[in-house]
Each structure stands twice: as C-alpha cells, then as structure tokens.
Amino acid sequence: MGFLTIKGTLDITKLWPDGESDADTSKVLVTVGPKAMSYKPQVGKAKEVSKIYDNAFLDKALKKPVVEKGVITVRLQGVDAPELHYQPQSDPKLGSLAKSKNNGVQVVFKFRQAQGETATVALRDRLKKAPGQPAVRCTFVTQLDDNKGPAEAIDKYGRFVGDIMVGNTNLNHWLLEQGTAVVSLYNSLEDDELRAYLKAWSTGNKKGIARHYSKKVLPFDPTLIFRKKGAKVVSEGNKRFILPKLYRRQTTWFAYHKLNKFQGDLQAFLQTKDDSDRFFEIDDFLDNGLAAVQHPFSLCVKDAKQMTRKPDEIVFKEAASALYATQGGQVKKITSW
C-alpha cells in the first residue's frame, strides 16, 4: 500500500452557515499549491504528483477536472453526516427531474435532514479552535494500492476520498468520536482504516447527534429545505434522522412518487437499484475481502419501515472511477503513477 498526501488549507468560511459546505463529504474544499501532492509507494521514494492530477479529468466527453484553480473537493471517508442540501437525482429510466412540477407546484428542491445543520456547525466550531483560521493548514491522506494508479484516490464524482488531518487531529475520527456523523464504510478501505473508523464510532455512537439516529424509517419531510448561507443557526433539539444514504434514495423516490412517475413505495424504489446498490456484511468482508458475498442495499430495509442492519454492519460497494488526460492531442486513460 502507498500513501497519497496533499498539503493545503481548509477554508472555514466555506462551511455553513458562513458558506454552503456540509460536515462530511462533498463540499470540504482544500486549496492546494504547487508541489503539494506526493505519492509514497510501499517500496521506494515519494514522488511529486501534482502534475498528474492538475491535468486529469473525469469524463472523456465533459472533461471535468479534479483540480480546479488549485482547489480539490474531498469526501471524508468513513463518515456520513445528515444531509444539508441534497437534491433528488434524475433516473434515466424514470425521466428527468429538471424543472419538474406537480400541477404547477415545484417538487424538486435541495432538501435537508434534521441534524444536518447541527453537524456542520459542530465541525465549524471545532475548526475555529485551530491556528490560522479561517484558512486552516491541513493534510489530506489516503492509502492506495500501488498497482491501481491515481484514479483510486478519486470517486465517481471527482472527489478525493480520504482523511483530513488538522495538526494531530484526524477530522474523520473526530466526527465519529463526537457523534457528529454516522460511520459509513466502503470496500475501498484498507482493513486498518476500516477498523479505526469502527473504533471511533463505538466511542461516539451514543453522543452528539448520533443519539438521534433512527433505525425506523421516518416519513419524508418536504418542508425541510436547505437554508442558504447566512441563515441564523437554530437548535434542532432531539429531532431524529435516518441513515443519510437511505435518505438520499428517499428524496429521489419522493420526487418521482409526487410527480406520479413512480407508483410504488420506497421499498419498491430501492429494489429498482438492486443491480447497482450493493453491500457486504462486515464480518464477511473482514474475513474474505472482495470475495465476500454481495447483497442489494434494499435488503437493509424491511417493508420501507425499518433498517435491518446497523451502520457498522454494512460495507458499501464503491462505484468504479477513472481518470483521463489529453496527451499528444489524444484523450488517454491515466493508469499509473
């Protein structure tokens, strides 16, 4: 295993309510400079790899870069906080959700879960204690298989997936230890990373907002909509929330159901994703790795009413990603360091 390390700064003002970023994944922005990225293989010296990622993009047609103006987006692996602003995703089989209305009334918004604001504010307040804020020095790090190349560090949305260190604090572990997020495991994790997240979750799953996690599937609340930056922070009290991954599917089901484009219940909607939404049982995965039996995520929910497994019993299957670059006028896949 090798290590990709990226040194930069994390801008606290990007976090809600000062900005629009949330607590865990998609909008944690790390500004990086020249020679900020290095890869240390299992055997051999570390090499500077900024040029590899500076020129890389996700899609051969869209050419979306993974580094934009010196900024990368990080998904904090091992954690999933309640959603702050999730918009239902269009399904090719069910039609586009763009500009969709029901009897002239808008249906699709950026929805949020209870405790999504609280989780983000907790992370912001923690970072405000760090030296140098609002631009806090940090280090992104992730373990990678030497043979799989630079694309292994990126998810299908172009986000770098790993841990962020601020001083001696691992923010991923801190979020779980404080009960500020729910543990979320993927098959791309190494065993030592996975066990570290499980340990942190065991410390914090009765603290903070984690106390309000509900294994019962709560009804979708369309009145909870993202409050844009600058909104006043208010207490969310003891409001409960469901597994964020399930909530994301629930928002999309709600939109299609409301628009009469999908007649079935949430359980039926989850089952339409059985070919792609897959998971491993934790014990099976730790014993057998990728040879473990895959199951459909819909099996984690019974009758659209109850989760059948705890968050720390599930290892989700990561969607494949690829990186490309233009070389000699041709678009080529990046496969090696």
pLDDT digits (tens, 9 = 90+) for 280-332: 999 999 999 999 999 999 999 999 999 999 999 999 999 989 999 998 889 99
CATH class as words, domain 2-333 = mainly beta
Q: Which two tokens stand for residue 182?
A: 């729910």
Query: How high is the pLDDT of residue 25?
Result: 54
Query: How high is the pLDDT of residue 103?
Result: 83
* Range 118-127 average pLDDT: 96
Start-end of H helices in the chain:
50-54, 116-127, 171-177, 191-204, 244-258, 266-271, 282-288
Query: How high is the pLDDT of residue 299?
Result: 98
Q: Tokens 């909870």 map to which residue?
A: 224
pLDDT digits (tens, 9 = 90+) for 174-211: 999 999 999 999 999 999 999 999 999 999 999 999 99
Instruction: Identify which of 254, 249, 236, 241 has the alpha carbon closest to the alpha carbon of residue 113.
Output: 241
Q: Which two tokens stand for residue 37?
A: 């990225």
Q: Which two tokens stand for residue 38?
A: 């290095």
* 28: pLDDT strictly greater than 70: no
Q: Quick check: helix, strand or coil at residue 183?
A: strand
Confidence band of 69 (pLDDT split at 50, 70, 90): confident
Instruction: Identify which of 50, 42, 57, 59 has the alpha carbon closest to the alpha carbon of residue 2.
Output: 42
For residues 28 and 308, which has the higher predicted lDDT (pLDDT)? Answer: 308
Share of the chain above pLDDT 90, in %: 86
Is the pTM value of this prediction over 0.85? yes
Query: How high is the pLDDT of residue 34?
Result: 83
Beta-carbon contacts of 156 under 8 Å, excluding residues fewer than 6 positions away, are 58, 319, 320, 321
Q: For residues 132 and 134, what is the distance between their CA atoms, to the nearest angstrom?
A: 6
* Range 123-143 average pLDDT: 93
Q: For residues 63 and 2, what is the distance between their CA atoms, to the nearest angstrom?
A: 27
* 273: pLDDT strictly greater than 50: yes
Query: How high is the pLDDT of residue 104?
Result: 83
Query: How high is the pLDDT of residue 236?
Result: 98
* Domain boundaries defined on the chain: 2-333
Query: How high is the pLDDT of residue 27?
Result: 43
User: Which contacts qualify for 227-231: CB closer than 8 Å, 24 or more apart?
Assistant: 227/17, 227/112, 227/117, 228/20, 229/16, 229/17, 229/18, 229/19, 229/20, 230/17, 230/18, 231/16, 231/17
- The secondary structure element, H or E, covering residue 295 is strand 294-296
Instruction: Quickly list DSSP for 32-52.
Output: EEEEEEEEE-SSS--EE-HHH
